[in-house]
Amino acid sequence: MSRPLHIYGGRVVDPSQGLDSPAAVLIVDGRIEAVGLGVEAPDGAESIDATGLTVSPGLIDVHVHLREPGGEHKETIASGSRAAVAGGFTTIWAMPNTDPPIDSPAAVGYVRAAGRAVRASRVMPIGAASIGQKGEQMTEIGELVAAGAVAVSDDGHPVHNSGLMRRLLEYTQTFDIPVLQHAEDPGLTPGGVMNEGPVATALGLRGIPNAAEAGMVARDVLLSELTGGHLHVCHVSARQSVDQLLWAKERGLRVTAEVTPHHLLLTEELVRGYNTQAKVNPPLRVEEDVEAVRQALVEGVIDVIATDHAPHHYDEKEREFDDAPFGINGLETAFSLCMKALVEPGHMTLSGLIDRMSCAPARIMGLDTGTLRQGAPADIVLYAPDESWTVDPARFYSRSRNTPLAGWVLPGRIMRTIVSGETRFEAEGDA
């Protein structure tokens, strides 16, 4: 393979080994060879000067929408995985709610192969839980896993039928993969476009109550208890869902959960003025919910941060609020938004954040990345935690620009992203 790579002069933050100190990282044959203050570059090694930068295991996002096939005007596997490395992500899990959905081995194989061809972030396909994501008949999960699927989900929609959810949590155990659930009781959300609360009342918009999410989480937690299956709750937004997760964790159930960067900071107030950029499902909630999910993440009741990167074309968001699609473009702002929501106010250390965005996802999903331990794949991110930048959606690598953060000044700049020892992203103007 390529020459050894020596990253020196930086501060290494790797919570998987409890590391937070100046150190060099040596990479040989795409894997971590050594990390330490005295680690020298062998002859012929390529060197990267990381002076002033922080070096951590690459970020892992278990929830992105790449839109290909069928939605290439919003995003492609190529544009999405380039956006990922620009955001510091070395691994992304692609949701199967494409058109057609990823419910066959061939489709899983396509996403995997297309992802590899881009040579940006690793792209791991999630298979549909039910055929056509219709919530009726289980997909051939064994075949999907054989083709490279790392999990199953009907995300975009919930698995509404309790019987099907039970069978999924049972059947997936053979393959040791999680069921990723978009927790929403559709009977409670007809026509809902934002959080049910004071802002929806004033704006005359139909609401999505917290109970629609928390009720489904409660049911699913009980089904995990019944079956022993690995339930992963997507994008937790409601404080009552946190209570259900806490109950599950206290009983030691195989239940994990994620929260998005936007739910860690933004509230429904952002919707005022009918701002379609703030239209997302689950919706932005109220301050009490933001505090609850933030606290749950700090305490480990919510395990990981995942973006729910949901790109949409400009025209689709430039519509009446009711008609605009749900979703926030997240990959390129995630790290910085989390810095602002968690590290800057002191809720979490930088090391804690790296754990929730890299080590913890690897841990709960059984990946060999998310660490700088010797022998691990050299998936690494170099960044300047204290450097601010202004969000300019026109500069996104994503094909879409749908973010409520345009013009925001955020801390934390991704400078270089390395996958398997190969630089896949480098910030412009990098010294």
Partner 1 sequence: MNDKRPDSGLGKDLIGLETLSGETIRAILDTAEPFKEISERAIKKVPVLRGKTIVNLFFEPSTRTRISFEFAEKRLGADTVNVAASGSSVVKGETLVDTARNLEAMRIDMVVIRHGSSGAAQFLADRIPSNVINAGDGQHEHPTQGLLDLLTIRDSFGRIEGLKVCIVGDVIHSRVARSNIFGLQKLGAEVAVCGPKSLIPTAIESLGVQVFAHVEDAIQWADALNVLRLQLERMNAGFIPSLREYNRVFGVSQARLERAPVDTVVLHPGPMNRGVEIDSAVADGPQSVILPQVTNGVAVRMAVLYLLAGGAPERAEEAKKGEA
* Residue 168 φ/ψ region, left for φ over 0, alpha for ψ in the -120 to 50 degree band, beta for the rest: alpha
**315 forms part of the interface with partner 1 (CB under 8 A):** yes
Question: Which CB, 198 or 228, lies closer to partner 1?
Answer: 198
Identify any residues that bridge with 136 across adjacent strands, giving them in sequence order.
Answer: none
**321 forms part of the interface with partner 1 (CB under 8 A):** yes
Reply yes or no on whether 308 is catalytic: yes
Contact with partner 1 (CB under 8 A) among 10, 207, 229, 283: 207
Question: Which CB, 273 or 346, lies closer to partner 1?
Answer: 273
Grouping H, G, I as helix, E, B as strand and the rest as coil, residue 46 is strand
The one catalytic residue in 308, 368, 379, 386 is 308
Pick the stretch among 161-169, 257-265, 317-325, 369-377 that binds partner 1 (CB under 8 A): 317-325
Residue 246 CA, chain-centre distance (Å), reads 21
Contact with partner 1 (CB under 8 A) among 34, 188, 203, 298: 203
Question: Which CB, 205 or 296, lies closer to partner 1?
Answer: 205
Which residue type does 134 have?
Answer: K
**108 forms part of the interface with partner 1 (CB under 8 A):** no
Least Cα distance to 327 among 393, 265, 382, 283 occurs for: 283
**407 forms part of the interface with partner 1 (CB under 8 A):** no
Tell the smallest beta-carbon distance from residue 36 to partner 1 (Å).
Answer: 56
**202 forms part of the interface with partner 1 (CB under 8 A):** yes
Count Cβ atoms within 10 A of the Cβ of residue 268 and give its class: 0-12 exposed, 13-18 middle, 19 or more buried: buried
Structure tokens at 64: 């992105």
Which residue type does 297 have?
Answer: L
Binders in 266-305 for partner 1, by CB under 8 A: 273-274
Site string for partner 1, 123-152 (x = CB under 8 A): ------------------------------
Count Cβ atoms within 10 A of the Cβ of residue 389 and give its class: 0-12 exposed, 13-18 middle, 19 or more buried: middle
Tell the smallest beta-carbon distance from residue 352 to partner 1 (Å).
Answer: 34
Number of neighbouring beta carbons within 10 Å of residue 165: 25
Tell the smallest beta-carbon distance from residue 198 to partner 1 (Å).
Answer: 4
Structure tokens at 38: 């005295």
Task: Check: CB of residue 322 under 8 Å from CB of residue 85.
Answer: no
Q: So which residues are the catalytic ones?
A: 308
Q: Which residues bind partner 1 (CB under 8 A)?
A: 190, 196-198, 200-207, 209, 273-274, 315, 318-323
